[in-house]
Amino acid sequence: MASPIQIKTVITADAATLLNLSRKTFFDAFAHLNNAADMEAYASTAFTLQKYEEELSNPDSHFYFAVVDNTNAGYIKLNYNTAQTELQDPNAIEVERIYILQEFQGQQIGKHLLDFAIQTAIDKKFSYVWLGVWEHNNKAINFYKSKGFIQFGSHPFVLGTDEQTDILMRKEL
């Protein structure tokens, strides 16, 4: 039987643990698809302890670990209000990041975290959940489609010197 998945709120004291998990899952997912210098340039500003401590102290940004067999198998970052990277609609939640360690993928952990985000938005009587996803990340796009997300736009995402396109997707509640 599959091990149970627990959702644990990430607190400021977990900043270094979250940073390590974030950096590892990001590189595992995208390093083989991008230029190494662009990855490092992005990582040098996106994955710093100071940035993670700031994000964790923002009352409108909430991080959660998915814990399986006493391991932080993945995490999700939800943004409210002005913490949202765009739109900044008070009636919506942005899923800014959702990442599962490779060895834990395909075990419904991502689904569990996304369901948690959707249920949180329903409980708050929000109108929709939205997110941005790299146009070439077919696995994630299919995952979001399977959960009822549909494309509503796109926006640029700069990785180092590489201007990429993120597809914006939303799920109406």
Ligand X SMILES: CC(C)(COP(=O)(O)OP(=O)(O)OC[C@H]1O[C@@H](n2cnc3c(N)ncnc32)[C@H](O)[C@@H]1OP(=O)(O)O)[C@@H](O)C(=O)NCCC(=O)NCCS
Q: Which two tokens stand for residue 106?
A: 């395909």
Minimum CB distance to ligand X, residue 76 (Å): 9
Cα distance between residue 106 and residue 119, in whole Å: 21
Instruction: Give catalytic status of residue 80 as yes or no.
Output: no
Given the residues 42, 64, 75, 144, the one annotated as active site: 144
- From the CB of residue 113, how many other CB atoms can be counted at a distance below 10 Å? 24
**What is the closest distance, in whole angstroms, from the C-beta atom of residue 116 to ligand X in the complex?**
12
Q: What's the min distance (Å) between Cβ of 75 and ligand X?
A: 9
Cβ closest to ligand X, residue 89 vs residue 96: 96
In the complex, the residues that contact ligand X under the rule CB under 6 A are 25, 29, 98-100, 105-111, 133, 137, 139-140, 142-143, 146
CA distance 66 to 112: 8
Q: Which residue, 8 or 13, is less far from ligand X as judged by CB?
A: 8
What is the side-by-side strand order in the sheet with 128-134? 6-9, 61-68, 71-79, 92-100, 128-134, 162-172, 150-159
Known catalytic residues are: 144
